[in-house]
Structures are given as structure tokens and as C-alpha cells.
Amino acid sequence: MRQVIFRQDWLLNSAAFLLMGAGLLSIYSANSSLFFQQLISVVLGLILLFGLSVLNWKALKSYPMIILAIYLAALTLLVLTLFFAPTIRGIKGWIVIGTLRFQVAEFMKVALIILFSYFFSYRHIGIARLTNIFKSFVYLAIPSLLIFLQPDMGSVIVLVAIWAGFLMVSGIKLKHFLTGVVVALLALLIAWFFVLAPYQQERIVGFFQPDYDPLGVNYSTIQAKIAIGSGGLFGQGYGRGTQTQLGFLPEAATDFVYASLIEEWGLFGGVLVLVAFLILILRTIHIGLFSESNFYRLLCLGSAILFLTQFIINVGSATGMLPVIGLTFPFLSYGGSSIIVNCVLLGMIQSARRFAHQPRSAILHSDIMFES
């Protein structure tokens, strides 16, 4: 037990604990009925964090069938939820057992990170081959299609960001990267006319025209901006934010939790949360870079991309810098599935710190990121 405690990266843990603590306070203020559900998820997440940190996940590289089984299990759950799950918040993506709910797309994020960590750790030298790029794209495309049909565009964007991040760090050629950008732009154009639902098009139009439909598509963003602007330096006081307490700010515990937090805790609270999140990202990258295992390096990379993508979209939506998509702020927003998955990834990152960490001198004498 003492080794479990002392072998942790406590700077990383402290940043995550601060975010979860701030999230619990904000959730209780915004909607107290959600507090105990989130608290249970946090406790379960912490148990998983410490429990998974004592396992050497590098051993998975020797058992590719287990990695494939995790991926196929996530795919199977996506198919089942698509056909049999109830619709919650407009999405058929939750497994519901009594009062318990779990969003399967969150499980797929972890499964894809583990799969790509294995795939790219062996193929980083030959990743420029189109066959390898295509294989990795197939692994991405199947779950992305299933999640899109739920429909959950936010999770699809996260999966694509994870895949793109793995490609770039694995040494994809510039011409292939630029080709991918062109293809992505064409795909977005096609999606606009043939794929996106009218309400999704409305959100994009509202993003480019902030004054468009202030009581409809832009209502949430306008209220979030008001909440942030009214927070001042030290906020209106805990439980006293007018936008949050009077119900003007929609989804104050989830999509717009950061706006709710700033309204009550001010710029001081907002910056403190940003610093904690920055520390979490930097420590994750640090542990990955100083790992002797390609698998762990890529696992840390994938986790950092997941956290950053969701953070950018969540805060961007709250500040009007991005369309409202509906993704959680990692460790801060309400969402049991998100908290549990984030803690699972944190436990695996701590495992990298425990089993594969190298001295700084070993890294400084290496000129490449990957081993041969």
C-alpha cells in the first residue's frame, strides 16, 4: 500500500483532484440533485485510478488479442446501444441499468487510445505507408460511424482528433498530412449539404453570426458570456451567481460548468482551474516523454489529446470561440462516464510513471522519440 501511495506522481494527481473538487462544488451550486451521483462517480474513479496504477500495462503489447477484444467489446456495445438503448438528451448512447447509466462512447475513447498505442508503437517507422494509414483509419471509421448515428458529433470529433494526433507524432509525411487536410475540408463541405442535421447547421451559422437568433441557437452562448462577464475578479460568491441560480444558464453543470464557475468564483477561480488543467497536461506529456516504452509514450500522448480536445471544445463553446457541441470539461463537468474514463486513463498514466519512467539523462542522450 505504501508503494502505491509513494510511487504516484502527486503533482499530476493534485491537479486532477483540484479539478474534481472544483467540479463537485460547481455542480452542487448549479444543481444539487446531481451532486451525489457525481460524488459516487468520483469515488469510483479514484478507486480505479489507484487500482490500475499498480498494473504494468506495457504487458498488453504481448497480448494483442486482448487489445483487440477490448476494441471489439466497445464496438459491440455501440451497436447494441444504437438499436436497444433509450434516447437520453437526444442520443442513443447510454447503457442503462436501474439508476446507473454509462455512455459507451466514453469507453470507446479509451479502447481506441489503447489500440492506437499498440498499433503505432510497432508501425511508427513505416507509418508513411498508405496501407498503415488506411488500417488505422478503418479502426477509427467504424466506431465513428456508429457514434455519428447515435448521433454524437462531439465524441466523433474527439476520436478523429486522437487519430490525427497519433499520426502526426508517429512521423507522417508532410504530403500525406496535407492530403489529409484537403480530404477533411472536402468531407466537411459534403457533410454540410448531406450529413449535418438542420439544428447542427444552425449552431455553425450562430457561431459565425453571434447576434443571430439570440433566443434560440445562440441563447446558451450569450448567457454563458453574461455569466463570465459578471464574475469579475473574485466572482459573485458561491451559490450566488444570478445566471446559474436563476436558471438562465443552460447545462450549468455540464456544457457550461466553466462559465458557472467563473460567475461565482471570478477570474481568480477560472485561472486557478486553468493552471490546474495545464499542470495535468504537462505532467501527462512529461511522463510520456520520459517513458522507456513506446506503448506508454503513446498512451500518455493519446490521453493528453483526449483531455485537450474536450477542454478546448468545452471552453470554446462557453466563450463563443467555437460552436456549442456538447463535450465535458475533463474532471470538472458533471458526467459519471467521463469522470470514470478520465480516472482510468490517469491510472494508466500513473502506471507509466511507476513502471517505465527513465532518468532525465537517459532522455537527453536520445535524439529520437521512438526506439527502433
**Any domain includes 40:** yes
* The C-alpha cell that represents 37 in the structure block: 451521483
**Any domain includes 370:** no
Q: Which residues contact 268 (CB under 8 A, 6 or more apart)?
A: 233, 234, 235
Q: What is the model's pLDDT at position 369?
A: 42
Q: What is the model's pLDDT at position 372?
A: 33
Burial 185-199 (b: 16+ CB within 10 A, else e): eeeeeeeeeeebeee
**Any domain includes 63:** yes
HSE at residue 9, side-chain half, CA atoms within 13 A, is 28
**Any domain includes 369:** no
**Any domain includes 371:** no
Domain count, the chain: 1
List the chain pLDDT tens, one digit each, 372 residues: 566 666 789 999 999 999 999 999 999 999 999 999 999 999 999 999 999 999 988 888 888 999 999 999 999 999 999 888 888 877 888 888 777 788 999 999 999 999 999 998 876 665 667 788 889 999 999 999 999 989 888 899 999 999 999 988 877 777 767 777 787 778 777 776 666 777 667 767 666 666 666 777 778 888 999 999 999 999 999 999 999 998 899 989 999 999 999 999 999 999 999 999 999 999 999 999 988 888 999 999 999 999 999 999 999 988 888 888 889 999 999 999 999 999 999 999 999 988 876 655 444 444 334 443
Q: What is the model's pLDDT at position 364?
A: 42
HSE at residue 287, side-chain half, CA atoms within 13 A, is 32
Instruction: Give phi and psi for 97, each to the nearest 5.
Output: -125, 100
Three-state secondary structure readout of the chain: CHHHHHCCCHHHHHHHHHHHHHHHHHHHHHCHHHHHHHHHHHHHHHHHHHHHCCCCHHHHHHCHHHHHHHHHHHHHHHHHHHHHCCCECCECCEEEECCEEEEHHHHHHHHHHHHHHHHHHHHCCCCCCHHHHHHHHHHHHHHHHHHHCCCCHHHHHHHHHHHHHHHHHCCCCHHHHHHHHHHHHHHHHHHHHHCCCHHHHHHHHHHHCCCCCCCCCCHHHHHHHHHHHHCCCCCCCCCCCHHHHCCCCCCCCCCCHHHHHHHHHHHHHHHHHHHHHHHHHHHHHHHHHCECCHHHHHHHHHHHHHHHHHHHHHHHHHHCCCCCCCCCCCCCCCCHHHHHHHHHHHHHHHHHHHHCECCHHHHHCCCCCCCC
Report whether the peptide linkage leading into residue 151 is cis, meaning its omega lies within 30 degrees of zero: yes
Domain of 304 in residue numbering reads as: 2-364
**Any domain includes 372:** no
Distance CA 339, CA 254 (A): 12
Q: Is the pTM of this model over 0.85?
A: yes
Distance CA 311, CA 330 (A): 6
Q: What is the model's pLDDT at position 370?
A: 43
Are 166 and 175 within 8 A, CB to CB?
A: no
Q: Write down how long the chain is.
A: 372
Q: What is the model's pLDDT at position 292?
A: 86
**Any domain includes 17:** yes
**Any domain includes 274:** yes
Are 35 and 24 within 8 A, CB to CB?
A: yes
Distance CA 71, CA 65 (A): 10
* The C-alpha cell that represents 115 in the structure block: 489500440
Distance from CA of residue 275 to its chain's centroid? 17
